[in-house]
Amino acid sequence: MPSPKVWFITGSSSGFGRNMTELVLEKGDIAVATLRKPEVIADLAAKYSSDQLLVIKLDVSKPQEVTAAFAEAVQKYGRIDVVFNNAGYGILAEVEGTPDEQARAMFDVNFFGAANVSREAVRIFRDVNKPQGGRLLQMSSVAVYASSAAMGYYCASKRAFEGLSEGLAAELDPDWNIKITIIESGGFSTSGLRSIFRVDPHPAYTKPTLTPAIVRKYLASDTFPPGTPSAAGAVDVIYKIAALENPPLNFPLGKDAVGTAKKKTGELLANAEQFASWSEDLPVAA
């Protein structure tokens, strides 16, 4: 019987992070659940022994806490097999109406925090695990294919994270047996809407027919509309991806994400073909 995998999960308090923590434990694997407020998952801590669940307080925007959390997990279990890099949140605000301090705080989590986790994950997979290897699952968004009005800074943080992840994947030595998959998630029913930081509408964008107003109306509730697929089903798919010997680098998750990815790539190809001649016979620098 194979040994249980050790999963290091960020953002375990709610949404995909909570769902993944529960699934990992149900599968008999080991979960290192990290979050800013450990008391939020006290029910899981009471249900599972420390041999299967380690709860660690972690703010991913603080590099020293990231390093310490990984070190504590390694000290407890000896290795880490899978990192689910999931912590993040959104800002509902027009680009013109987004306060700089709020945008930077979000980037500190969604981009720089996720980068902190990525770097330490790779180091552990390469320098600590015996044998070398590991799976780094980067929780991204369909926003990398189509940015949404009133969510511009959030979408930018996810595109930046996508670029970093692809660059990191290109740098890895295949001998290290480290595989990265970017999960480009569509809409799933989670508690994530409650974590969105909401800024009052910019006065120039309040016309009801404008897209920002429509987006705000759609996100006015703390719950997703009926018919939205469940996060429980989504994490089951992500769990299976982690077990693949050769997982994809980019993985659109959900019918809406798959459709958006196809539409975007089709538009890019058509645009490149239409204007390809404009790049021909460009003058060469002296």
pLDDT, tens only, 214-227: 999 888 876 666 67
Position 71 in a domain:
yes
Position 31 in a domain:
yes
Around 59, how many Cα atoms within 13 Å sit in the side-chain half-sphere?
Answer: 6
Position 178 in a domain:
yes
> What is the pLDDT, as a whole number, of residue 225?
66
149-188 residue pLDDT tens: 999 999 999 999 999 999 999 999 999 999 999 999 998 8
> What is the pLDDT, as a whole number, of residue 224?
66
Range of the domain at 119: 6-90+99-195+228-278
Position 220 in a domain:
no
> What is the pLDDT, as a whole number, of residue 192?
63
Position 244 in a domain:
yes
Which listed residue (141, 158, 205, 239) is catalytic? 158
Tally of domains in the chain: 1
What is the reported pTM? 0.94
Tell me whether residue 240 is one of the annotated catalytic residues. no
Burial grade of 40 (CB within 10 A; 0-12, 13-18, 19 or more): middle
Which listed residue (12, 13, 140, 165) is catalytic? 140
Cβ atoms within 10 A of the Cβ of 32, count?
28
Q: What is the CATH number of the domain that holds 157?
A: 3.40.50.720
Position 214 in a domain:
no
Bridge partner residues of 163 (DSSP): none
> What is the pLDDT, as a whole number, of residue 265?
96
Strands 82-85 and 91-92, sheet pairing: unpaired
Question: Residue type at 9?
Answer: I
**pLDDT tens, per residue, the chain with 286 residues:** 678 999 999 999 989 999 999 999 999 999 999 999 999 999 999 999 999 999 999 999 999 999 999 999 999 999 999 999 999 999 999 999 999 999 999 999 999 999 999 999 999 999 999 999 999 999 999 999 999 999 999 999 999 999 999 999 999 999 999 999 999 999 887 766 677 899 999 999 999 999 999 999 888 876 666 677 888 889 999 999 999 999 999 999 999 999 999 999 999 999 999 999 999 989 998 8
Q: What is the rounded distance in angstroms from the CA atom of residue 157 to the CA atom of residue 124?
A: 25
> What is the pLDDT, as a whole number, of residue 191?
67
Give the contacts of 140 (CB within 8 A, at least 6 positions apart).
Answer: 158, 161, 162, 165, 182, 183, 184, 185
Q: What is the rounded distance in angstroms from the CA atom of residue 144 to the CA atom of residue 184?
A: 7
> What is the pLDDT, as a whole number, of residue 206?
94
**Do residues 91 and 196 touch, judged by C-beta distance below 8 A?**
yes
Which listed residue (154, 157, 185, 189) is catalytic? 154
**Do residues 10 and 66 touch, judged by C-beta distance below 8 A?**
no
Position 146 in a domain:
yes
Tell me whether residue 158 is one of the annotated catalytic residues. yes
